[in-house]
Every structure is written in structure tokens, then in C-alpha cells.
Structure 1
Amino acid sequence: MKLLAKILLCGFSIYSTGPLAAQQAISPEVQTLYEHARGAQAADQTDAAIADYLKILRLDPKLGAAYNNLGRLYYNEGRYSDAIPVLVRGLKIDPSMHPAEIILGASYFQTGVYDKAVSSLEAALRALPDDRFARITLVHSLIQQNSNDAAIQQLHKLTAIDPKDQEAWYLLGKLQLQLSQDAFARVHSIDPDSPLSHVLSGEIMDSMKNTAGSIAEYKRALELAPNDPSAMEHLADVYWHDGEWNEARDSFQAILKQGGSNCLVQWKLANSMDELNESAPEALKYADVALATCPTLGQARVERARILLRLGKPADALPDLLTAEKTAPDEPSIQILLAKVYRALGNPTEAAAADAKFKQLLQAEHAGQEKHAADVIRANP
């Protein structure tokens, strides 16, 4: 008498005991014990099921799938040290039992034998590349070995298989952050008073919303290297984000004087001058240069429209705003400007529609903020 094909495992939650043999004759006594083991497991009598598999293996020690099923039972009971020799022997009898390789690798991981865990799981994944449990266990094993680069490669494979794999994304971000921190620490250890070290410290201060600290670090970097382009742009951006328009304008102009220029610098300089209500024609030149370099830069297009409105040219501003709206249909500030343009053009209907859409977007934005705040409160009772 024969049993059905031996088990296939697809993930952590699908370790169900399966048939014992593929194309292998077994005795009626072994068949009876197997059926009894299945019934015992269904009744949550794991010890009885384990005892049946031990009897099966004494009767037929070359029945590979029985090792697989017994090893699985040991694993689910947390008896990892018992699972390992059973699975090793089973794989010697039948090396094609890749589900057993997964359980073996997981058992090695649970017992802290990470090198053997990696070896077993990598072998299993060559045959079962889509098995998530095997791959995520491999990731954890690699992390324990401080093999972060290899772990990151495996996490990229997981997110490619399932872009909504939250655990994989979490681990990926955590590992990349750790690698960044290690690299930053190395930068400081090489020369803590170099311009690069101070720029790095400024970026860290900036990420912590410590504006005064970041400005101090960027200024120190510029004391050491007055023409350092990275420090100059970082300092200008801090001033710009903080609404320090005079300092931002001067900093962006200093970048241009040093020969540094890109569309973001041109746009932000135009914006700073506009916020200071300075020469509109001069500010417009910078916005034009930004768009000539980067035609898809929506912020520069909106800024150009603002300046054109100041110059009394609403008809010229309208095409820029309509183009920007296509790129960012949910941006409320564009609707404010559209309403102003339509009113200036004598089109009250379109102006009213823009005002209504502005209010609608603003309400949606506030609702989103309130929901986020409520979620935070629920998550932190």
C-alpha cells in the first residue's frame, strides 16, 4: 500500500503533517501508525503523534518523509535540539525534501547556530525561491551574523515578491539606518573637525528640527572651507525652510557667485526675493532660468505665476498654474493663485470654482491630520 505524495511547505503557518512516501511501498503497520499519528495531531495530542512517528522510523528507518513530519512536530513544540538530528538524517535519506531544509534552518536559527541556519535556508531557497518563511528566517540569521549587506539583498527580494510586506520594509529601513549610522560614525572618527564632519552633524541637527544647531554646524564647515558647495547649499536651505528670507537670499546668491547653480537654487532664490517683495523682474529671471533647466519643476512654475501676478500679468500666469495643477491637483496653494488669476481676468465663475476646491482640499487636509492624531493617540494609550 502506498500513501500520497509527501508534504510541501509554503510558509510558517502551513506546517501540516503530510503523507509519508512518494512512490515508496510501506507496510500496513506503518500505514496504521501514520493514520493514528494524523488523528492524534488533529486532536492536539502532539506527544502521541511524536510517539507514532518514532515507532514508524524504528519499523522503517529509511522513510524520509517521516523524518520531515517528526522534525516539524518537534519544531512546533519548540524542541529545536530534537528536531535538528531528525531532519539531518531525513535529508541524508532524501536530499530533495526542501521543506525539511527550511525547518532545519529555522531550528538552527532558534538554537543560535546561525552559520548552519544560513546554509540550510539558502539551499532550500534555491529550490523554493518564493517561500517567505525561509527567506525572512534567512534575513534574521544573516543579521545575527552581522551580514547586513546580504540581509538587505534578501529583503529586496522579499519586497519584490510582495511590495506590501511590512516586516520586510521595516527591517530594510532599520538595516539601512544602521549602515548609515556606522558610516557616519566612521566619518567623525577619521576627522571630527573636518568640513564634511560638520556638514554631517548639521544634517543630523536638521533632521531633529534643531535649526540653531544645524546653522552653527554649517557655518563652522564654511569657516574651515569657505567655498564648500555642500555646506553653502545646506545653510541656504535651512534659512529658506525657516523663512529667514534675507539670509536665504544672500546664501543662494553666494552659491551663484561661486559658480554653483541648479534649478532648485534658482527657484528658491526667486522665491526668497518674492517673499521679500523685491524686484519682480529680477526674481522672474531666476524663475525663468529654473524652468529652462528643469521644465517639470512644478514649484518653479507656481513661483513664476506668483511673480507674474505681481507684475500685473494674470493672462501670462494662467498657463503656468494650469500646468502645475495637472502635476499637483491636490495642492491648495495653486487653487488660491488660480482664484486670484481668474478674478483678475474677470472670470468670477472659474474664480469661485477655484475657491471652492481650495476649501475642499483644505478640509481634506485637516481631516487627514485629525485622523493621524487620533491614530497616534490610540497607538499610545
Structure 2
Amino acid sequence: MTFARLFFVCLVSISAYATPLPQIDGLAEKSQEAKQLMAEGKFQQAIVVYRELNEALPNNPGLKLNLGMALHLAGKKREAIPQLEEAVKLDPHMAPAWLFLGTTRLQLGEASAALKPLRTMLQLQPDQHQARQMLADALFSLDRLEEARTEYQRIATEDSQNATAWYGLGRCYELLSSTTFEKLQRLAPESAYVLSLLAEARLREQQFSSAFYLYRRALERMPNLHGLHSALAEIYRQTGHPEWAEIEEQREMALALLDCRSPTLECHFQAGKYEDLIAAAESANTPESFYWRTRAYNELALTAFDRLGRLPSSAELHELKGHIYNNQKKYSEAASEWRKALELSPTNLQIRKELAISLKLGEDYSAALPLFQELLHQQPDSAEFNYFAGDTLLELQQPKEALPLLKRAAARDPKSVAAQKSLARCQLAAGQAANAIPHLKLVLAMDEDGTLHYQLAQAYRAIGQIELSKKMLSDYESMQRSIAARNEAAKQETDITAP
């Protein structure tokens, strides 16, 4: 929820939940003074007055709410929580207290703890779109995608011009598509279904050679799968081979027509009945069902993003463009979109985070660092922000400043491969080779290009373990030779040849 919206809710709540105060020691006058300070945005001064009022009347839910709101708006979110919790305990029907409690939890990165207050708020006021939007965002951040989808869908149905709802809905479908594809990969990793979906992704990214190779492999495994020949025809057209494209189109037309008298998953897909397809495939855990569900979720995501694109310019539209540019590794263009999104939603921490990440990926570390430091100030216990700030400092050749942050990141999230890698690299740069070794050994199995083996060889050499260093260096060189051989073989395999 934006600051302006929260401020408005705050002022309304102060009036709506104000109860006449006894004329003792000027309590009524103090209450009016605090209300005026809040209206003028003087939250720190209002806090002082509200604390005095709460000491005089300790069991007044309205005063607890007002103090909690003042603390929240003054940036003292952690201090606001006990006041807001006490308010809802004293008056469980106080909707603004539930709203502020949920908002505060969410802004502190405590999405799970935000669910109960936001759901309670919606029980009290079902038409409160801001609360429903925050609930959807919280569910999304917890990967509870089906629940998030339901909430975003309700908002979009009630307000078709709501850009946030369409963007959230599109992201839900996008991730549901990805998670369903992962299930398919685990179940049938070498199937034509997996190869076809991988090829489709490569084709969207205009990686024609790779897509061609994957579609050809899919055809070898399932010659009658509709759409494969048409996809190859598209690759031929894009690469300047119209005569070969014609051959593939003819082969597509020669396939047996679908018999949809008893609708199959493919029939639902061809008819654009994606929700029906998902419902029909929900209980089936077969490669075919996962394949069509993946494609259906993807089409629903595209539909939601298309609706977003037809709305007036919004932060959400620029967010979508930012993600697209990131996926294309166009980080400068992505950063430009995130900046535009931030102009339209200046208090949105997620947009600020995405901007910082794009700047970091684009190697603009000096611009990324202050953003990560600001995010870390907002959420000092976040393993993610400790890692990002520390790793960025390391890229700026400041290992001494990076070390405590990376230690904290690795301690808070020991399973984070990125944090362990960065901490080891930092310790090596700081001359702490012995300390780096345990972290390198922890993630050595995840080494894809030999870099970790090389760093471990350096660390062993630094502490005088020459034989271990030689072994790691030998493993590194062997990995490099294997990678070079695979790359050469892949290059030969992906030549676009005639049908």
C-alpha cells in the first residue's frame, strides 16, 4: 500500500475510532493535538503525545491503534507491531488495526505473519481492494500460487482496470507454468514434451539453432505431436529458408486431425479453454498432463500481460518490461524500466530491489550499492539483502566492508549457494584462505565451470597444502576440457540443416 493511501487510512481511522476522552489533565486536548500533528505529517511529535495518552489510558484500543499508526508512518515499523497487536486484542473488530498490522508485517518482509491480519481485515471489510492486493502479494511471495491467483483474479474481475491485479495474475500463471514444467522434467526428462517446451522457450528468445536442435530431437521421439513441424517451419522462415519451411508446413498438415468428440487435453488447448484443461488435468500426474498444463498456464499468463499492456501506463507495465529485458540480458534497458516503475511507485521496495539487481547484473556496482544498502537498512535481518550488499561491495574491491555482511548472509541462510560462494571469494581476497576452504567444499558439488575448483586450489596453496592444490587444479583443467568438447559438439549439432 502506498504511503499516501496509508496516510489517508490513518487520518480516517483517527476520526472513526476516536472515543471521547475524560477531561482529566487535558487528555482531550492532547488527543486533538496528536491528531493535528498526524494531519501535518509530524509523526515523531505525535508519537510523544500518543505515548503520554496511552500511559494515562492503557486499555484504550483507539489510542493503541493511533500510536501504532504513528510509529509505522515514522518508519518505526518494528515498534509499531506490539501496539497494533494490543489494539486488535482489545477490539478484534478494529479493521484499520488489522490493516496496519498486515501492512507492517509485509513491509518488514514477514509475509507469513501478514496473512492472518490481512485475512481478518477482509472478513471485516470484504471490498477492501488494497488489503486483498496485499494478501495476494503475500501469498505470491510465499509461493502459494493458486491462492494468490484466486485473490488477483477476484480483484481483476471486480476492477478490470486494475493494473496490479493483471500483473499479479500474469506472474502467478508464469510461475505455475514453470513449476508444472519442473514436475514434467523430473517425471520424463528426455521426453518429447520436455524437448518441445525447451525448444519453444529458445524460439521465443530467438535462439534459432538451439530451438532447431531441440525440435528435431522431439520429433524423433514423438513424430505425431502437433505443432513441431510448424515450429520448424517458423525457424526456417526466420533464418531465410522459405522453401524448407514449406516442406515442414506440408508435413504438419499431413498429420491426423484431432478427434474432439470426446475432448482431450489437446482439444481444450486448441479451443482456448485453458481453465477447463487445467481442471481436467489436475488429478493426472502424467507427462502429457504436465505438458498441456504448462502450455495452458503460459497462455493464461500471456493473456493477463496482454490485458495489462492495453491499460494506461503503470508501474506494473514497466515492471513487466523490466523482467522481459532481464530475461534477454539487456540489463541497461531493464534498469531504465525499473526506474520508470519507481517513479510511479516510489515506495515500492520490490521495484527498488529489482532495479538494484539489474544494475548489479549490468556491472554498474556503484549505482547498485546504495540501493542495496537502503534495502538492508529497511530489512537488516534479510539474508538476501546482506548477500546482495556484501557481494556488490566485493565487486567494488572492498572485501573488508563486504565480509561481515556475507558472513551474516551465510549464517542466516546456510543453504544459499550464492552466499557461500561469495563469502569464500571474499575471504580469499582478504587473505583468509583457511576460512574460505570450508565454504568452498560445501558448494563444490555445484561447480558447473570449474571456478570453485580453481579457487579451492588457490586456497590450499595459500595454506601450504600443495598436493591438494594440485589435485583441485587438475580437476579444474579436466572440467575445462570437458566443457570445451561439449561446446564444440553442441555447435555442430545445432547447425540448421534441410528437412
Matches of 2:197 and 2:158, distance apart in 1:
35
The alignment partner of 1:185 has SS state of: helix
CA contact (8 A) 1:91 1:100 kept: yes
Once the two structures are superposed, what CA deviation does each residue of 1:1-56 show, in whole Å capped at 9, x if it has no partner?
Answer: xxxxxxxx99434133323756x543123211111112333444323312222222
**How much has 1:261 moved relative to structure 2?**
6.8
Once the two structures are superposed, what CA deviation does each residue of 1:125-144 show, in whole Å capped at 9, x if it has no partner?
Answer: 12223333322322232233
Residue of structure 2 equivalent to 1:246: 243
Matches of 1:211 and 1:67, distance apart in 2:
62
- Residue segments in structure 1 that go unaligned for 5+ positions in a row: 1-8, 263-293, 295-375
The alignment partner of 2:170 has SS state of: helix
Matches of 2:22 and 2:203, distance apart in 1:
73
1:114 is the counterpart of 2:108: no
**How much has 1:180 moved relative to structure 2?**
2.0
Once the two structures are superposed, what CA deviation does each residue of 1:130-189 show, in whole Å capped at 9, x if it has no partner?
Answer: 333322322232233221222222222232333333333333333322332233233333
Once the two structures are superposed, what CA deviation does each residue of 1:325-371 show, in whole Å capped at 9, x if it has no partner?
Answer: xxxxxxxxxxxxxxxxxxxxxxxxxxxxxxxxxxxxxxxxxxxxxxx
**How much has 1:86 moved relative to structure 2?**
1.1
The alignment partner of 1:229 has SS state of: coil
1:232 is the counterpart of 2:248: no
The alignment partner of 1:234 has SS state of: helix
Q: 1:222-371 alignment to 2 at 5 Å?
A: 222-239=219-236, 244-260=241-257
Q: Structure 2 residue aligned with 1:26, among 5, 21, 28? A: 21
TM-score, length of structure 1 as denominator length: 0.59
Letter in 1 for 2:55: R
Residue of structure 2 equivalent to 1:192: 189
Letter in 1 for 2:21: I
Matches of 1:238 and 1:211, distance apart in 2:
6
Shift in alpha-carbon separation, 1:127–1:378, aligned structure 2, 3 A = closer
1:39 is the counterpart of 2:33: no
**How much has 1:106 moved relative to structure 2?**
1.4
CA contact (8 A) 1:12 1:133 kept: no
**How much has 1:203 moved relative to structure 2?**
0.5
Residue of structure 1 equivalent to 2:9: 15
**How much has 1:100 moved relative to structure 2?**
0.9
Q: Structure 2 residue aligned with 1:74, among 71, 75, 86? A: 71
CA contact (8 A) 1:20 1:64 kept: no
Residue of structure 1 equivalent to 2:171: 174
Matches of 1:117 and 1:261, distance apart in 2:
48
Matches of 1:20 and 1:32, distance apart in 2:
17
CA contact (8 A) 1:19 1:65 kept: no
Larger Rg: 1 or 2?
1
Residue of structure 1 equivalent to 2:205: 208
Matches of 2:4 and 2:229, distance apart in 1:
54
Matches of 2:255 and 2:334, distance apart in 1:
49
Q: Structure 2 residue aligned with 1:220, among 204, 217, 220? A: 217
**How much has 1:207 moved relative to structure 2?**
0.5
Q: 1:71-110 alignment to 2 at 5 Å?
A: 71-110=68-107
Matches of 2:167 and 2:39, distance apart in 1:
36
Matches of 2:159 and 2:99, distance apart in 1:
20
Letter in 1 for 2:71: Y
Matches of 2:196 and 2:204, distance apart in 1:
12
Once the two structures are superposed, what CA deviation does each residue of 1:232-287 show, in whole Å capped at 9, x if it has no partner?
Answer: 3433444466674433333333334332379xxxxxxxxxxxxxxxxxxxxxxxxx
Matches of 2:207 and 2:232, distance apart in 1:
13
Shift in alpha-carbon separation, 1:379–1:86, aligned structure 2, 3 A = closer
CA contact (8 A) 2:137 2:168 kept: no
Matches of 1:148 and 1:164, distance apart in 2:
22
- Residue segments in structure 2 that go unaligned for 5+ positions in a row: 260-270, 272-332, 340-499
Residue of structure 2 equivalent to 1:370: none
The alignment partner of 2:10 has SS state of: coil
CA contact (8 A) 2:202 2:211 kept: yes
CA contact (8 A) 2:105 2:113 kept: yes
Across the aligned residues of Structure 1 and Structure 2, the Cα RMSD in angstroms comes to 3.2
**How much has 1:111 moved relative to structure 2?**
3.3
CA contact (8 A) 1:91 1:97 kept: yes
Once the two structures are superposed, what CA deviation does each residue of 1:194-235 show, in whole Å capped at 9, x if it has no partner?
Answer: 111221121112101223332222221112222233423433
CA contact (8 A) 2:50 2:67 kept: yes
**How much has 1:72 moved relative to structure 2?**
0.8
Shift in alpha-carbon separation, 1:11–1:233, aligned structure 2, 3 A = same
Letter in 2 for 1:15: V
Letter in 2 for 1:104: L
Matches of 1:123 and 1:144, distance apart in 2:
19
CA contact (8 A) 1:159 1:169 kept: yes
CA contact (8 A) 1:53 1:66 kept: yes
TM-score, length of structure 2 as denominator length: 0.46
Matches of 2:106 and 2:46, distance apart in 1:
25
Matches of 1:47 and 1:10, distance apart in 2:
17
Matches of 1:105 and 1:231, distance apart in 2:
48
1:145 is the counterpart of 2:139: no
Matches of 1:159 and 1:89, distance apart in 2:
34
The alignment partner of 1:19 has SS state of: helix
Matches of 1:244 and 1:58, distance apart in 2:
82
Shift in alpha-carbon separation, 1:169–1:31, aligned structure 2, 3 A = same
Residue of structure 2 equivalent to 1:271: none
Once the two structures are superposed, what CA deviation does each residue of 1:293-340 show, in whole Å capped at 9, x if it has no partner?
Answer: x9xxxxxxxxxxxxxxxxxxxxxxxxxxxxxxxxxxxxxxxxxxxxxx
Shift in alpha-carbon separation, 1:170–1:242, aligned structure 2, 3 A = same
